[in-house]
Amino acid sequence: MSPVVSDSGSLALIMAQLSFLAIGGINATLPEMQRQVVDVHHWMSAEQFASLYALAQAAPGPNMLVTTLVGWQVAGVAGAFAATIGICGPSCVLSYFVAAIWFRFRHATWRRVLQQALTPVTCGLVFAAAAFLAQATTHNVGTALVMLASTIVLLLTKVHPLVVLGVAAALGAGGLVS
């Protein structure tokens, strides 16, 4: 089997598993995605993974495009399709069928308990994703300051995130960060 085919197959399987595990959205799966593509398969470094995540954030469209970009990086267009279909496929099938019966359970007790139990798990996972990305993107005082300043600005002001990303990229290009 050619590497492109076998890598695309592995990508599709990894992403299909993450599709089921993505409780509260795709960000919850970032640590596991990084573990798979960096530590398990050695397709890229943690820094490259963080750069792809940043690129996907700066592009239009849903957050899950980081998956498409990872697929592209690993196995070109075939990889991009494999990763995208992998991450969307299982949850799409589930959504399609659950949507039809959802309203019957809207007020069921088990649904409320499940939601209350899943919300904190999602919070913990997204904090873990933040820790992984912070670790991969801060190599020195400059990048650490950019991370801190972005967090503060985004938390306390209504500045558009794209502006924050743009300023940070410009600071970097100007040689002020690293």
Site for another protein in 59-78 (CB under 8 A): 59-65, 68-69, 72-73, 77
**Residue 42 in tokens:** 């050695």
Give residues 139-168 in contact with another protein (rule: CB under 8 A): 139, 143-144, 146-151, 153-155, 161-162, 164-165, 167-168
Determine which residue in the list 7, 29, 78, 82 makes contact with another protein, applying CB under 8 A. Answer: 29
Determine which residue in the list 8, 10, 12, 26 makes contact with another protein, applying CB under 8 A. Answer: 26
- Of 41, 120, 25, 115, residue with least CA distance to 75: 41
Query: Does 114 help bind another protein (rule: CB under 8 A)?
Result: yes
Query: Does 115 help bind another protein (rule: CB under 8 A)?
Result: yes
DSSP state of 160: -
Determine which residue in the list 108, 124, 141, 159 makes contact with another protein, applying CB under 8 A. Answer: 124
Query: Residues 114, 91: contact at Cβ < 8 Å?
Result: no
Determine which residue in the list 11, 12, 75, 80 makes contact with another protein, applying CB under 8 A. Answer: 80
CA distance 87 to 22: 9
CA distances from 144 to 35, 131, 139, 162 (A): 22, 12, 7, 19
Count residues binding another protein (CB under 8 A): 107
Task: Indicate the burial class of 97 (C-beta count within 10 angstroms; 0-12, 13-18, 19 or more).
Answer: exposed
- The site map against another protein for 43-62 (x = CB under 8 A) is ----x--xxxxxxxxxxxxx
